[in-house]
Structure 1
Amino acid sequence: MTAVNRKLAAILSTDVVGFSRLTALDEETTVRELTLCHDQIAALVLEHGGRIFGSAGDGLVAEFPSAVQAVRCSVEMQRSLLSRSNDFPQDRRLEFRIGINLGDVIVSGDDLLGDGVNIAARLQEMAAPSGICISGSVREHLDGKVLFTLTSLGERVLKNIPKPVSVFRVDWPEENGEGNEAGSVRSFSARFGKDQPSIVVMPFDNLSGQSDEYFVDGVVEEITAALSRVRNFFVIARQSAFTYKGRFVDVRSVGRELGVTYVVEGTVRRGGDRLRISVQLVEAEMRTQLWSERYEGATQDIFEFQDRIAAQVAGAVHPAIRSAEIELAMRKPPSSLRAYDLVMRAYPYLWGQNKDAIKRAIPLLQDAIEIDPAYGRAHAFLAWCHAQNLGYIWTDEPEKDLECALRAIEVAAASIDDDPTALTATGGALSHCGDQEGASAYLERALALDPNNAWGWARYGWVASYRGQPDCARERFERAMTLSPADPLAFNMRMGLALSLALAGKLSEAISIAREVVNKHPEVTWPYRMMSAWSAMSGDEDTARWAAKKLLAAEPGFTIQRYMTRPVFRASPQWADQMAEGLRQAGLPEH
């Protein structure tokens, strides 16, 4: 029996999107352009140490001795082919898809055969127009060797391939640097190694009355929280997802804007004590529905439905995740649906960034606690409200708010060990109350349970700043912004980033961020406090006095003495003295 000759090779497969349509429109021009593109591809393959061994119509197949060479070549191909296509109208452009696999192949003369080749062809079919998909076997050889972002598309069952294949999408910056600017979703994702399935849960459509809007938002909140706790996932925070609420958006646009591969959409209808939830999971780039399900039952089944939806979405995206793993994402529900309902009503006010919103949240949380005194999340949010009054100087009775916050924290602590949201609220509250060490303990616990917790990373960043650790703070804020790139409260993260820069002596950069924040958010006045002090500290007297004037117009009762009583200054007395002197130089009143 003749031995079969085999070898390991990186296989690259290409084809043209909609080639039949293009030839029907203009056969001669299309075929001529295809020939020129194939010549260009052949030259790049040769340049990167590969060889073309097969062709079929508009497609080519090449082999490379190295996975790294194959991926680098694929990116150069797409760059050069995209450049060529700019000379053609949008509907006449030749857009190529590329798939790459590293596998064992059969050598038959100059040809290569087997699953190693077939998988590359299947991956090419999955790629978006002008896109590149690679297998997990290729991905394993790329660490530290390429500068491209590799985003997991999860495990996929490919036609005529017996086992599921891990699939990754290759993204790359343009040669002129566009698309990879500092602060972009892609650049942050690359920095933090977003090498796992990425997902966003969009606001669900409310098919009930307007009065149920808060309830529908709560469903999305809990599903997002459950998915967020699955370590294999990169989950966009609800704050960013909810910027799309109330408007029609294309899932492909959402995927590109938020840097995610998968989008969860759904509807909720509640009538009396009956509930119906419909959910679908969509692959964003190709707009392909991967899974859908409908849940019907009594309203009190809401917690079970939320957990089941999270488990089934996770399983559809990443089959390797077992139901036992998703159970880690299921926190113990409150004993009373009515108490849960009240907390969901309070939710929008918790992030209002003004004292009037806090005034509206507190009685709702107190009512929830009266119904369910052991409801840890309600106590944690109540602590957060009183602590915000303290930290932002929204209270005329700071001692009373401090006492209320600490009492709520003490009660919450007994029942929030498995609730990252409540742990974050408690940690944030302790930070405002001046206990940065205690705050760190709660926030570290929250982030251990939920590494995708954007709010947790942001509060952890503020803690690092208050402790005089600017480098650590900056990294935490950047991670928070990665997880919630469209967050309405991004200005809070930006101001945290500005504080870390100011602490590091980069005052001009800090002032620039503060100016950007006050220009975009004129209703948020507390950044003027920091801006006036930093400007004075940097010697920019004009900006310092301008910011001080704006501050006094918005907060006529502001005094340096009152500002310096903020508990957060306890951890950094030297910085507190510098801030106080800066405020004096800006012309703000002492008493």
Structure 2
Amino acid sequence: MDRKLAAILSADVAGFSRLAALDEEGTIHALNASLDLIGEIVRAHDGRIFGTAGDGFVAEFASAVQATRCSVEIQRRLAGNPEDMPGDRRLEFRIGVNLGDVIVSGDDLLGDGVNIAARLQEMAPPSGICISGSVREHLYGKVPFALTSLGERAMKNIPRRISVFRVDWLQEALEGGDAGPAQGTGPAMPSPAPRFGRDQPSIVVMPFDNLSGQGDEYFVDGVVEEITAALSCVREFFVIARQSAFTYKGRFVDVHDLESELGVNYVVQGTVRRGGDRLRISVQLVDTETRTQFWSERYEGAAEDIFELQDRIAAQVAGAIHPAIRSAETELSKRKPPNSLRAYDLVMRAYPYLWGQSKATNERAIPLLQDAIAIDPAYGRAHAFLAWCYAQHLGYIWTEEPERDLERSLRAVEAAVGSIDDDPTALTAVGGALSHCGDQERAAAYLERALALDPNNAWAWARYGWVASYKGEPGAAERFERALTLSPADPLTFNMRMGMAFSLAMAGSLSEAVAIAREVVNKHPDVTWCYRMMAAWAAMSGDLKTARWAAGKLLEIEPHFTIERYLSRPVFRGVPQWAAQTAEGLRQAGLPER
């Protein structure tokens, strides 16, 4: 069996099935024209296409540099291909490049070297390029574009985690970048080009100001590195590469100028100060257009724990900035006139209603999501959030027709799953919906995928905690604690706190659970489901006074509540013994059976 080292380029068209369904003949014509052009580009870079399948192809190169340069030229040439379709009909290829050992079988190549390239291609966004760490090692000083680390990723059927980098081919590397030095002293940027995430908010983490001695410079730069890497894992926004940001180091920059120079909506700024054996780090998030500060936080820790502190800051900043940007984008979309709304804007408008924890707010989100889907039927995130809305009707007993909402939620899940593999937020929505629908095993799979892509996703950690609770497994409390640490200002903090209380109650710490529930209902008196749990837990602990008070509050808000209806929730299927204990507690609290 012959083997050799080869650079493999794998590519396919993003959303090809959807495009073909809209215009089969036109799509096939555009595909053939694109593949003809690609064949010429591959040959010009001394490559060879050795496999084709439908809308994709696989090519071999003797050099990682040639393969990467070829992938960039393909994307650049296709962006202006006159045979391609305009707007939402445009063919956008995703490309993955790997350097590895392959098995030679005639004209074909096989093995992990090829398989990893295919997995990298699946991770790339439309018109995007992802490369492996083995390719990255050969590119130093040889390519003029920025390379952004996406961390180590688990890949299907690959026994080890693979380092993944994004090729920012629309933006050439600047002075001090990984690809080699550029001329000049400032960020001589061209006019901003459209980015991969052109419908996404964009952000840059600027070099932090060192308010201590020069000896702390390495730590200050390291914090910025870690925060940038952490934010790059969050697919909800586009993150400018570190090497671009560091061209501004040591000089004053007006954040408003960064809007045009880097094409960003938001800037992360910060300072670091050492005092004795203590470190203080301040971080803020600023809107580049209005210079408004959306969010700020201060972190303190022992200087001797600098590396642990650095990791913790990166995770917490990413977790906190995530909802801050989401909130800013929601407000921006509210200010847009209706005739300018796109599918993305409609989903942003739905955001505040998704977390309202009431039937009324949930029902306001549904038509917005349906309108987004009408504009873009393949918008996976809109389908995922729609599944979440119908599942909330089911989980919180807001529906008179549970079977109908179960069917609607599962139908929306199936509509979403084919196009959300790289969207942690949509994966979390699907996981949460499936959990409410009673399928905890499948829910766990989607939530684990979301956390593999975005380990700082507080909502995913919280839903993962609920899944553990509904399966009667240990570890739920740690997941809720992680969520609270990552996003202490999250609008769903009370849900995470109730999750902690639920895990405590299941572990027998009923008084602690009741104390947390009391704290939550004092702050959120209109969130009905907290009273249900509080009434049951208080009765189970022997505190009938509190149990009957909570039951009375519940019936004021929800006069038609019955224990029978409550126990019909699908989440109780996996914990029948706990369901029976809960039912008995509700009876002791004085709530009606049916």
TM-score of the two chains, using structure 1 as the length reference: 0.48
Q: Which has the larger radius of gyration?
A: 1
Q: What is the TM-score when the length of structure 2 is the normalising length?
A: 0.48
